[in-house]
Chain A
Amino acid sequence: MSLLVAAFGFGLVSMSVIALAAVGFTMQFGITNMINLAYGEVMITSAYLAYYVNQAGVSIWIAMLGGAAFGAVFSFLINRFVYAPFQRKGTALLGMVIVSLAVSLMISNAMLPIVGYFSAAYRERFSRLLHFGSLALTVNQIAIIVLAIGVMLAVHALLRYTRLGKAMRATAANPTLARNCGIPTQRVIDVVWLITGALCGLAGVVAALDSDSFTIANGAGFLITALAAAVLGGAGQPYGAMIGAVVIGLITELSAAVWAPDYKQVVAFGILVAVMLLRPQGLLAKRGALAAAG
C-alpha cells in the first residue's frame, strides 16, 4: 500500500510536468492549427538557457522565468519567420508538420556544438524530503505541483474570463468570422505563440528539474509525452490535455509500482492507443477550454 501511495506522489509530479508541456502544445494546435514538432526542442533549449543562468549563481526558480521568457520569444520568432510564411502560402497541415520537424532538427543540431553531449543538472536539483504519511515528496516536487496547478488555473481564467482569451477561442473556432467582427486575428495569434511559448519554456525547465539531469536528446522525449497527453485529451483542447496529463502521469507511475518500472511507458502509451481506438477524437474533443461552459 505504501508503495502505491509513493507511486501516486510521483504520479502527481509527473502529471504536473506533463500538463505544463501539453497545454501549451495543444493550444498552439487548437488556435493556430499548427502541430509544432519543434516544441520539445524549444523546451530543452529553454531548459539549457535556465541552466546557464543557474550556473551563474541565480536560483533556478528565478532562472525558470528566464527560460519561460526565452521560450516565448523563441516560439514567437519561429512562427513569425518560418511557420506563418508557409501558412500564408497555403501549405497543407502535413506539409507544416514536415516544416516543424525540419525546425526541430535544425534546433537540436545547432544546439549540440553549444551544449555538448554531456548531461547537465541544476544546482538545486536536490531538496528536502517531506513526509505526509506514506507519501513523500521533495520541496522541489511540491513546488512543481503548485506551479502546475497555478498555471492551469491561469490558463482557465485567461480563456474563460478575459477578452483576449475569448478572442483566442473565437479565432480558433472561425478565423474568417473573427476578422469580420474586427478581431485582429494576426495579433491574437502572435500573443498565442508568446503565451504557449512561455508555457513551453517553463515546462522545459520544470521537466529538466524533475529529471535531475538532462541532455539535448531529452527534447524528443518531452515532445512525445506532451503530444500523447494532448492527443489523449482531444487535440486542441487545453482541458483535454490536462486530463491526458493526469491519465498518463498517474498510470505511468502506478504501473511502475504494481508491475515493473521498465514497462511504465508501455502501459501509459498502451492506454493511449486503446483510447484512440475507442474514441479517436480524444477524451474531450467536443468540450474543453476552447469550447463554452454551457
Chain B
Amino acid sequence: MSADHTVANGRPAPLLRADGVTSGYGGEPVVRDVSISVGRGEIVAIIGPNGAGKSTLLKTLVGILRARNGRVFIGSEDVTNHAPEDLARRGVGYVPQVNDIFEPLTVQENLEMGGYLLAADRIRERVDEVIRVFPALAPMLKRRADKLSGGERKMLAIARVLMLDPAVLILDEPTANLSPKLADSLLRDHIRRLANLDKAVLLVEQRARAALEVAAWTLVLVSGATRLEGRPGELLGRQDFEELFLGAGTGPTRPAPTLPSPATGGGKPEEEENA
C-alpha cells in the first residue's frame, strides 16, 4: 500500500464506499443512512447484535437488495443498485453467511462456476492457483460440495470467490458454525492473508473480539444505524463500546464475547446465534 493511496486518517483510499445507504425488504428500512468504506489491503469489520442489519447492508452493497437512498461506489464509479453479476465483473466478491456454495455440484464445479467470467483455459489455471491458497481442497475436487465439513465448506466458499481474483472481498460471518479453533485459523490466517494480497476485505463478524483483532477499522451497527466506528484500539478504550459488547473487566484471555440482542438485552451463546 503506497503512501499516495492513503487518506488523512491513515486509512487507504476507499476502493468500495457506501454513502448514506438506506435499504430493507419492504416496509420499514432495516439499514438507515449507513456510510462505510474499505481500501486496498484493509480489513474492515462490521459488528453488531442480531437483527442490526449487518447482512442487509452487505446484500445492498453487492446488489442483491436495492438501496432506497444513498450511493455505492467502486473507486470513483457509482455502482448503486447495479446487478450482482455486474458487480462480480467489476471485482466485488461476496461470500454469504448461508447458501454460500452450490451444494449439488462438485468442489471442482463450484470453483469453475466461481470463475464463470474467465476464459475456459484461464479457469483451469485459476483453479490450480486457488488450490495453492487452500491446499486442503486439492484431494476433494471430485467430491460433492454438500459432503464437506463446515470448515471445508467455508474454505470452498472463499476459494470460489477468489476464482475471479476480486479486488474487494465481502464476507458475511465467515466463521459461523465453525469450531473456535477453525474460526480463529480462518480469521487470523486466511483472511489476514487476503488483505496482505492487497485485497479490500469487508467482514461481518459475530465474534466481536476476534473481529477487533484482525480488523484495521470497525463499524458497530445497532438497529440498522451506525452506533460507533473507529480503530479497534480506540473502540476498546471507549466505555460505551465495552458496555455494549464486551462487558466490564474484559481482558485478552477472556473467551470471545457474545453480542447482546437489542430485543432481549442479552446474548445467546454465539454458536446458537450462528445456527
* Chain A residues within 8 Å of B, Cβ to Cβ: 163, 166-167, 169-170, 172-174, 176-185, 290-294
In the bound complex, residues from chain A placing their C-beta under 8 Å from that of B144 are: 291-292, 294
**Distance (Å) between the CB of A176 and the closest chain B CB?**
6
**Distance (Å) between the CB of B180 and the closest chain A CB?**
27
Q: How far, in angstroms, from A294 to B105 measured CA to CA in the complex?
A: 9
In the bound complex, residues from chain A placing their C-beta under 8 Å from that of B94 are: 180
> B99 contacts A177, CB within 8 Å?
yes
- 8 Å CB contact of B104 from A173, A181, A185: A173
**Distance (Å) between the CB of A289 and the closest chain B CB?**
10
> B89 contacts A182, CB within 8 Å?
yes
Interface of A is mostly: helix
> B106 contacts A181, CB within 8 Å?
no
Q: How far, in angstroms, from A293 to B102 measured CA to CA in the complex?
A: 14
In the bound complex, residues from chain A placing their C-beta under 8 Å from that of B120 are: 163
Q: How many residues of B contact A (CB 8 A)?
A: 33
> A294 contacts B84, CB within 8 Å?
no
Q: Mark B150-186, 1 if CB is under 8 A from A, else 0.
A: 0000000000100010000000000000000000000
> B105 contacts A169, CB within 8 Å?
yes
> A182 contacts B100, CB within 8 Å?
no
- The stretch among B111-119, B212-220, B243-251 that forms the contact with chain A is B111-119
- 8 Å CB contact of B116 from A173, A183, A293, A294: A183
**Distance (Å) between the CB of B16 and the closest chain A CB?**
15
A-B contact pairs, 5 of them (CB 8 A): A176-B64, A180-B84, A181-B114, A183-B116, A294-B142
The reply on B19 being an interface residue by CB < 8 A is no
The reply on B85 being an interface residue by CB < 8 A is yes
**Distance (Å) between the CB of A180 and the closest chain B CB?**
5
> A182 contacts B105, CB within 8 Å?
no
> A163 contacts B104, CB within 8 Å?
no
> A163 contacts B62, CB within 8 Å?
no
The reply on B136 being an interface residue by CB < 8 A is no
Q: Which of A174, A179, A181, A185 has most B Cβ within 10 Å?
A: A181
Q: How far, in angstroms, from A151 to B142 measured CA to CA in the complex?
A: 26
Q: Mark B82-118, 1 if CB is under 8 A from A, else 0.
A: 0111011100011010011111111001001110110
> A293 contacts B84, CB within 8 Å?
no
> Known contacts A183-B116, A291-B144: does B100 contact A177 (CB below 8 Å)?
yes
The reply on B143 being an interface residue by CB < 8 A is yes
Q: How far, in angstroms, from A180 to B169 measured CA to CA in the complex?
A: 12
Q: Which residue of A lies closest to B83 (CB)?
A: A179
- 8 Å CB contact of B160 from A179, A181, A290: A181
> Known contacts A167-B113, A181-B113, A291-B144: does B84 contact A176 (CB below 8 Å)?
yes
> Known contacts A163-B116, A176-B64, A180-B88: does B99 contact A292 (CB below 8 Å)?
no
**Distance (Å) between the CB of B181 and the closest chain A CB?**
27
> Known contacts A166-B112, A173-B105, A294-B143: does B99 contact A182 (CB below 8 Å)?
no
> A174 contacts B106, CB within 8 Å?
no
**Interface contacts beyond A167-B113, A176-B64: sample of 15 additional A-B pairs, CB < 8 Å, sorted by A:** A167-B116, A169-B102, A173-B103, A176-B96, A177-B102, A179-B64, A179-B84, A179-B88, A180-B62, A181-B113, A181-B116, A182-B85, A182-B117, A183-B113, A290-B104
